[in-house]
Chains A and B, each alone.
Chain A
Amino acid sequence: MDLRFTPEEIAFREEVRTFFRTEIPAEIRAKVSEGRKLAREDYVTSQRILNDKGWAVPHWPLEHGGQPWTTVQRYIFMEELMQAAVPLPLQFNCFMVGPVIATFGNDAQKARFLPRIKSLEDWWCQGFSEPGAGSDLASLKTRAVRQGDHYVVNGQKAWTTLGQYADWMFCLARTDMEAKKQQGISFLLIDMKSPGVTVRPIITIDGRHEVNEVFLDNVEVPLENLVGEENKGWDYAKFLLANERTGIARIGMSKERIARIKRLAQTTPAGEGSMWDDLDFRSRLASVEIELKALEITQMRVVAAQATRDPTKPDPASSILKIKGSELQQATTELLLELAGPNALPAAREEAGHNDMESLFAWADTAAPTYFNMRKVSIYGGSNEIQHNVIAKAILGL
């Protein structure tokens, strides 16, 4: 039993830490840290730099650009990336559609898509959820009917994150109407420029455009864009969602936010001193830090166990990471909001043309939107209530 990293792992940590902090532009990292909106170009710039280093998709198979890293190294890489406020490599590309194509796609699909997925030359979005299919994803209604050399797809997808930037969508559609729920679903790759694809923005609770509705109206999809076998899409989706849980605790992000709160607290006036002098505030902060430390070790336990697990099967223990990790992310945004205090109220000062953005409280403008936005983390990726069901069934046997 030894919870420490080996000297080699520590050297690796230093290497990735230095790279992130010197090679990824500081303006982009500042945007991430401060909760400001990232432009499409910011994501692309950051991922290109990682890709040029060979680090955009270290968890992929070696022949497609992965790295021969241990599970511990991968864990260190992601933690350091988050703590340096580097934008995560686009999840839809690197953690979702990429691994599915690499595992279940044919050679032509691998050659055509994988290089552009990791370099972010193609931006992908996820076409899973529908207005009537959220947690109960298998009740999805979008249908794909085979006509000659293509499918004709009709339906509506919801909560399509950053779909406004997307070149491609990976989509679940029903190809067999007679089959039972989880059967009869296929995994299709849809060019967003196809006639019949309409993207409509949904403005979320933070006032921003992050997600969309996507309408599919007689969209023609070539048969060659079917991944794997027809009617086996649910299996691929399950594989993908297991991948999604990797690093879902976002511990590095919570640490980064806590570090920022500590720095800001020292310059935020309160009474005769600063918020950092307020031991009540610091005690609430400490409470979150303690739970986060516990979760960090819990995550390392899950990571250590991964080395001997079947990587295609989800580890139900990762549901703990989802539940606690999302709760703690949300708790850090609550502390940030508390720190901002009444200065959190102003919205869109910059857009309104005020030029006092260099003021002491310029940072506070994003505190409320960050708090609002992060309510999503206990909903997406399988809501926390669904994660409770997973643990109750798979671990407790209830």
Chain B
Amino acid sequence: MDFDLSDEQSLLKDSVTRWAADTYGTLEHLAAARAAPLGFPEAGWAELAELGLLGLPFSEADGGFGGGSVETLVVMEALGRAMAPEPYLASIVLGGGALRLAGSADQKAALLPGLMDGSTRLAFAHAEAQARYDLNDVATTARAVEGGFRLDGRKSVVLNADAAKTLVVSARTSGNRRDAAGISLFLVPADAPGVTVSAYPTQDGGRAGDVALADVFVPADAVLGPLGEGLGVVERVTEGAIAAVCAEAVGLMEALHGLTVDYLKTRKQFGVAIGSFQALQHKAVDMFVALEQARSMALYAGMMLEATDEGERRTALSAAKVQINKSARLVGQTAVQLHGGIGMTMEYIGAHHFRRLAMIELMFGDTAYHQRRVAAAGGLVSAA
């Protein structure tokens, strides 16, 4: 049992934390970055490439740095703390995750160098509006045709879709809408004829888009992973994303809790710092307890991400997401409350942490969804 980061992991943490604080230390910096056409500055993405972060999770054989889940979580927590708007989750964790897990040697050779040097980006176009959180619910179809496939359907709220050169698209090659079997993954150039990306800002300061696919042709070698067996890959990719947003949320909560405690120490009413009031102290402590519980479960998510037992892994990730969601709600809401009026304004940076935390709750499964999954699996404590 060892909760310490290795020397290399500590260096990684320090360098990402420093970069994020220097780049996005104030709301003005953050607002300027978000105002860029894609919602983040290209220069920022290039800097992440220079720091080696874009190649971090990929194996050394593939030209990456061979980082594991802990390294990804260290990066996500540090980016989360500063609310860095770069699409690390969308492009490296989600899109890159699918390529890492299911890509052939040729596909990796074609895409990974660009992904790692920052010249190309991926997005993960899986979710559909009717599916809510059910990963098996895929209505988009892929018809086998001469030399390849033709895709039809609509993908919903694809994170940073407008920043991607290549989309990882799930589509049915057989079966009915909710069947587990028959889902396949495809690498689709964003500028392929028939692809329309309708992009928009999101409530948390990021960007996403709906992706319409109208008779889009892809060649046979665009199939990512085994045909008809894409659901397993989607599940693994989503588990990685859950662990990543858990870590991001811990960074956000830590920053927001710090802001709140500082505010309690400096804001004066009735002639004293409001942090001298016990009613407010106890709420700040409740935030702290929730943060530490979330931190523990983010560590658990990172560890269990590498578990080989599928059922155990799935239940663990669901449990982690439940804890992160509950903590995120308590920390976010209490922070706004303790700040009073200023916490309600867009000019206050803490309000932006709150908004991101609230949206993270709804990503990759909300509290009720994951709690039901844990319950259906029989829980975490053995009855024996």
**Residues in A lying within 8 Å of B, measured CB to CB:** 1-6, 9, 72, 255, 258-259, 262-263, 266, 279, 282-283, 285-287, 289-298, 300-301, 303-305, 317, 320, 323-324, 385, 388-389, 391-392, 395-398
B293 contacts which of A279, A295, A392 (Cβ < 8 Å)? A295
Contact between B289 and A324, CB atoms less than 8 A apart: yes
Please measure, in the bound complex, the distance between the C-alpha atom of A369 and the C-alpha atom of B108, giving whole angstroms.
63
Contact between A259 and B323, CB atoms less than 8 A apart: no
Residue of A nearest to B372 (CB): A283
Contact between A398 and B70, CB atoms less than 8 A apart: no
Q: Contacts A290-B323, A388-B285 given; indicate if A283 touches B371 (C-beta within 8 A).
A: yes
Contact between B1 and A287, CB atoms less than 8 A apart: no
Contact between A391 and B285, CB atoms less than 8 A apart: yes
Tell me which residues across on chain B come within 8 A of A295, comparing CB atoms: 293, 296
Contact between A297 and B296, CB atoms less than 8 A apart: yes
Contact between A298 and B371, CB atoms less than 8 A apart: no
Q: Is B284 an interface residue (CB 8 A)?
A: yes
Additional 4 contacts, C-beta under 8 A, given A286-B375, A289-B380, A297-B296: A259-B381, A286-B380, A292-B380, A297-B300
Residues of chain B from 1 to 55 with CB closer than 8 A to chain A in the complex: 1-6, 9
Please measure, in the bound complex, the distance between the C-alpha atom of A41 and the C-alpha atom of B381, giving whole angstroms.
31
Q: Contacts A395-B288, A397-B261 given; indicate if A290 touches B371 (C-beta within 8 A).
A: yes
A304 contacts which of B3, B70, B295 (Cβ < 8 Å)? B3
Please measure, in the bound complex, the distance between the C-alpha atom of A324 and the C-alpha atom of B291, giving whole angstroms.
12
Residues of chain B from 56 to 113 with CB closer than 8 A to chain A in the complex: 70
Contact between A3 and B281, CB atoms less than 8 A apart: no
Chain B window 292-307, contacts with chain A (Cβ cutoff 8 Å), 1 for yes, 0 for no: 1111110110110000
Contact between B261 and A398, CB atoms less than 8 A apart: yes
Query: For the side of the interface on B, what is the size category?
Result: 35 or more
Please measure, in the bound complex, the distance between the C-alpha atom of A258 and the C-alpha atom of B374, giving whole angstroms.
14
Contact between B284 and A286, CB atoms less than 8 A apart: no
Tell me which residues across on chain A come within 8 A of B346, comparing CB atoms: none
Tell me which residues across on chain B come within 8 A of A303, comparing CB atoms: 1
Tell me which residues across on chain B come within 8 A of A72, comparing CB atoms: 1
Q: How far is the CB of A397 from the nearest CB of chain B, in Å?
A: 7
Residues of chain B from 237 to 293 with CB closer than 8 A to chain A in the complex: 261, 264-265, 275-276, 278, 281-282, 284-286, 288-289, 292-293
Please measure, in the bound complex, the distance between the C-alpha atom of A385 and the C-alpha atom of B283, giving whole angstroms.
11
Tell me which residues across on chain A come within 8 A of B299, comparing CB atoms: 1, 3, 297
List 9 A-B pairs, minimum CB-CB distance, nearest first: A297-B296, A262-B383, A392-B281, A282-B375, A286-B375, A286-B374, A294-B293, A283-B375, A398-B275
Tell me which residues across on chain A come within 8 A of B261, comparing CB atoms: 396-398
Contact between A287 and B2, CB atoms less than 8 A apart: no
Residue contacts A-B, CB under 8 angstroms, 5 given:
A286-B319, A304-B1, A324-B293, A385-B282, A397-B265
Report whether over half of chain A's contact residues are helix, strand or loop; otherwise say mixed.
helix
Contact between A300 and B293, CB atoms less than 8 A apart: no
Tell me which residues across on chain B come within 8 A of A293, comparing CB atoms: 297, 300, 319, 323, 380
**Residues in B lying within 8 Å of A, measured CB to CB:** 1-6, 9, 70, 261, 264-265, 275-276, 278, 281-282, 284-286, 288-289, 292-297, 299-300, 302-303, 319, 322-323, 371-372, 374-376, 378-384
Contact between B1 and A291, CB atoms less than 8 A apart: no
Please measure, in the bound complex, the distance between the C-alpha atom of A282 and the C-alpha atom of B4, giving whole angstroms.
35
Contact between A294 and B265, CB atoms less than 8 A apart: no
Residue of A nearest to B294 (CB): A294
Tell me which residues across on chain B come within 8 A of A323, comparing CB atoms: 289
Tell me which residues across on chain A come within 8 A of B281, comparing CB atoms: 388-389, 392, 396, 398
Please measure, in the bound complex, the distance between the C-alpha atom of A283 and the C-alpha atom of B295, giving whole angstroms.
23
Contact between A294 and B276, CB atoms less than 8 A apart: no
Tell me which residues across on chain B come within 8 A of A397, comparing CB atoms: 261, 265
Most B-side CB within 10 Å, residue of A6, A295, A297: A297
Please measure, in the bound complex, the distance between the C-alpha atom of A79 and the C-alpha atom of B56, giving whole angstroms.
38
Contact between B1 and A392, CB atoms less than 8 A apart: no
Please measure, in the bound complex, the distance between the C-alpha atom of A72 and the C-alpha atom of B284, giving whole angstroms.
30
Q: Contacts A279-B372, A398-B261 given; indicate if A294 touches B381 (C-beta within 8 A).
A: no
Contact between B381 and A291, CB atoms less than 8 A apart: no
Residue of A nearest to B316 (CB): A293
Tell me which residues across on chain B come within 8 A of A296, comparing CB atoms: 296
Tell me which residues across on chain A come within 8 A of B323, comparing CB atoms: 290-291, 293-294
Residue of B nearest to A393 (CB): B281
Please measure, in the bound complex, the distance between the C-alpha atom of A300 and the C-alpha atom of B5, giving whole angstroms.
15
Q: How far is the CB of A261 from the nearest CB of chain B, in Å?
A: 9
Please measure, in the bound complex, the distance between the C-alpha atom of A9 and the C-alpha atom of B372, giving whole angstroms.
33
Residue of A nearest to B315 (CB): A286
Please measure, in the bound complex, the distance between the C-alpha atom of A1 and the C-alpha atom of B303, giving whole angstroms.
9
Please measure, in the bound complex, the distance between the C-alpha atom of A324 and the C-alpha atom of B330, giving whole angstroms.
15
A286 contacts which of B264, B286, B379, B384 (Cβ < 8 Å)? B379
Residue of B nearest to A293 (CB): B380
Q: Contacts A282-B379, A286-B379 given; indicate if A396 touches B285 (C-beta within 8 A).
A: yes
Contact between B70 and A1, CB atoms less than 8 A apart: yes
Contact between A320 and B289, CB atoms less than 8 A apart: yes
Please measure, in the bound complex, the distance between the C-alpha atom of A103 and the C-alpha atom of B348, giving whole angstroms.
53
B383 contacts which of A259, A279, A300, A392 (Cβ < 8 Å)? A259
Most A-side CB within 10 Å, residue of B9, B295, B319: B319
Please measure, in the bound complex, the distance between the C-alpha atom of A304 and the C-alpha atom of B383, giving whole angstroms.
28
Residue of A nearest to B273 (CB): A398
Please measure, in the bound complex, the distance between the C-alpha atom of A308 and the C-alpha atom of B318, giving whole angstroms.
33
A3 contacts which of B289, B303, B382 (Cβ < 8 Å)? B303
Q: Contacts A4-B303, A396-B261, A398-B265 given; indicate if A301 touches B296 (C-beta within 8 A).
A: yes
